[in-house]
């Protein structure tokens, strides 16, 4: 591949998402990439805590349980309403 070219995975890997808990007990779960989607990591956040998460070659999805504000390059989303 020449300069300026990229693999499709490069577009997704490296994206960051900010999650701010709006209540205690918000769960942030990382899901694997590949043939079978599985949980590979989870964190609990209390109200006001912020976590910055990143999509990688191993993380294809992030699931959030509870009331949280999620900031992405695509905009702002609120979960758990």
How many Å apart are CA 17 and CA 36, to the nearest integer? Answer: 23
Is 31 part of a structural domain of the chain?
yes
Count structural domains, the chain: 1
Walk along the chain (81 residues) and give the pLDDT tens digit of each residue. Answer: 455 554 555 555 678 899 999 999 999 998 887 777 777 889 999 999 999 988 887 778 889 999 999 999 889 999 987
Domain that holds residue 39: 8-79
> What angle (nearest 5°) sits at the alpha carbon of residue 20, between those of residues 71 and 46?
165
pTM for this entry: 0.76
User: CB–CB of 38/31 below 8 Å?
Assistant: yes
Tell me, what's the pLDDT at 69?
A: 97
Tell me, what's the pLDDT at 23?
A: 98
CATH number of the structural domain spanning residue 18: 2.60.40.50
Is 64 part of a structural domain of the chain?
yes
Tell me, what's the pLDDT at 14?
A: 72
Tell me, what's the pLDDT at 64?
A: 94
Is 75 part of a structural domain of the chain?
yes
Tell me, what's the pLDDT at 56?
A: 81
User: CB–CB of 44/70 below 8 Å?
Assistant: no
């Amino acid at each position: 591949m020449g300069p300026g070219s990229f693999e499709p995975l490069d577009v997704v890997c490296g994206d960051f998402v900010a999650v701010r808990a709006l209540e205690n007990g918000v769960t942030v779960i990382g899901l694997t990439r590949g043939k079978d989607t599985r949980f590979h990591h989870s964190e609990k956040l209390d109200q006001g805590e912020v976590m910055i998460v990143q999509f990688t070659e191993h993380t294809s999805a992030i699931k959030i349980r509870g009331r949280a504000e999620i900031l992405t390059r695509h905009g702002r989303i609120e979960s758990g309403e």
